[in-house]
Amino acid sequence: MTYLLNRIFSGIIVIIGISIFSFFLIHLIPGDPVRMLLGQNATNEEVARLTTYLGLDQPLMVQYKDYVVNTLQGDLGTSIKTGRPVLTEILERFPETMKLAAAGILIATVLGISVGVISAQYKGSFIDKLSMTFATLGVSIPGFWLALVVIMLFSVKLGWLPIAQGTGIRDLILPAMTLGVLASTMISRLTRNGLVEILSNDFVRTARAKGLAERMILIRHALRNALIPVVTVIGLQMAALLGGTVIIEQVFNWPGLGTLAIGAISTRDFPLIQGTILFMGVVYVTINILVDFLYTVIDPRVELSAKGGK
């Protein structure tokens, strides 16, 4: 319990830091959001009137204080461009980002664990080297490049799947596959390394001496222990995908939080930018805390080590 309370306290500190940096750094973006909203032909009186109405004429510290007070009351402000509540805008887009991230992590989990198991089973062979080369390339390849390659192959050349036509299952396949391949590389490497280490333990040699089938040893005994750290990584990858789908959403024109954030930045919609960053920060921290809790359930030694460190 102490361990989880410390993690929650650390998460609150991180969220406060996110709110501070997102608020003040956004104001360094060049361009006047009021001028962009009204157009270049707007008079100075119109600009001044809207600036006062939006509270942008107040000192930054006063604006930040008002922002914090409103946020604690569940009010993330009003979008300068649309005039709608920021939270409403975010909650309308979040399910699409959640759908994309969930599909991506599902592909990443299946692909990553499968590749890791095969690689560990054939340690040192050509299959192992090929699998780890794939994992290394996956870490190195930029997401936007892989997205363009996927579009060229499956949409332009083969014509199997559509590009940016909606949010259906067929439209989800390409962006989810891109995210899944990129996220699977870390899972595959961790699965492989964990299995290789566990397969050299005494209890595995004992199981082999008893005549158990190699597949049963691998799946029932070794993989169960190797997946403990993998579960943590899968949770962290899910959090990363929720906050890191901006480029993929933009390439595939997926109507999630990523495209919402890009549009807000292009129009200097400060409340919407701040709200999106803060919302994703809270989601990321929350998932990290839930993963830590799950880790203590799977491996009680985490709780014991935390108590021992007091």
Q: What is the pLDDT of residue 243?
A: 66
Q: What is the pLDDT of residue 309?
A: 45
Query: How many folded domains does the chain comprise?
Result: 2
Q: Check which CATH number belongs to the domain holding 189 and give it.
A: 1.10.3720.10
166 and 245 in a single domain? The answer is: yes
Q: What is the pLDDT of residue 185?
A: 85
Instruction: Band the pLDDT of 301: cuts 50, 70, 90.
Output: low
248 and 107 in a single domain? The answer is: yes
103 and 237 in a single domain? The answer is: yes
Task: Return the minimum-mean-pLDDT range out of 18-22, 78-82, 215-219.
Answer: 215-219
- Please give the average per-residue pLDDT across 94-120, as a whole number: 88
119 and 248 in a single domain? The answer is: yes
47 and 188 in a single domain? The answer is: no
Q: What pLDDT digit, counting tens, does each position of 44-83 carry?
A: 787 788 778 777 777 878 888 888 888 888 888 888 778 8
- Please give the average per-residue pLDDT across 122-150, as a whole number: 82
284 and 179 in a single domain? The answer is: no
Residue 246 lies in a domain: yes
Residue 86 lies in a domain: no
Instruction: Band the pLDDT of 29: cuts 50, 70, 90.
Output: low
Residue 262 lies in a domain: no
Look at 157 and 57; give whichever has higher pLDDT. Answer: 157
Final residue belonging to a domain, choices 231, 253, 275 = 253
The three-state (H, E, C) secondary structure of the chain, written as one string: CHHHHHHHHHHHHHHHHHHHHHHHHHCCCCCCHHHHHHCCCCCHHHHHHHHHHHCCCCCHHHHHHHHHHHHHCCCCCECCCCCCEHHHHHHHHHHHHHHHHHHHHHHHHHHHHHHHHHHHHCCCCHHHHHHHHHHHHHHHCCHHHHHHHHHHHHHHHCCCCCCCCCCCHHHHHHHHHHHHHHHHHHHHHHHHHHHHHHCCCHHHHHHHHCCCCHHHHHHHHHHHHHHHHHHHHHHHHHHHHHHCCHHHHHHHCCCCHHHHHHHHHHCCCHHHHHHHHHHHHHHHHHHHHHHHHHHHHHCCHHHHHHHHCC
Residue 260 lies in a domain: no
Residue 259 lies in a domain: no
Average pLDDT, the chain: 79
Residue 218 lies in a domain: yes
Q: What pLDDT digit, counting tens, does each position of 231-289 carry?
A: 778 877 787 777 667 788 888 888 888 888 888 887 778 888 888 888 888 888 888 88
Find the domain containing 297 and state its range.
1-81+267-310
271 and 133 in a single domain? The answer is: no
Residue 110 lies in a domain: yes
246 and 299 in a single domain? The answer is: no
Instruction: Band the pLDDT of 113: cuts 50, 70, 90.
Output: confident
146 and 69 in a single domain? The answer is: no
175 and 271 in a single domain? The answer is: no
Look at 251 and 205; give whichever has higher pLDDT. Answer: 251
Q: What is the pLDDT of residue 308?
A: 44
273 and 304 in a single domain? The answer is: yes
Instruction: Band the pLDDT of 1: cuts 50, 70, 90.
Output: low
Q: What is the pLDDT of residue 164?
A: 66
Final residue belonging to a domain, choices 205, 226, 253 = 253
Residue 258 lies in a domain: no
> At residue 147, does pLDDT exceed 50?
yes
146 and 178 in a single domain? The answer is: yes
Final residue belonging to a domain, choices 207, 226, 253 = 253
Task: Return the minimum-mean-pLDDT range out of 43-52, 58-67, 209-218, 299-308.
Answer: 299-308
- Please give the average per-residue pLDDT across 90-102, as a whole number: 89
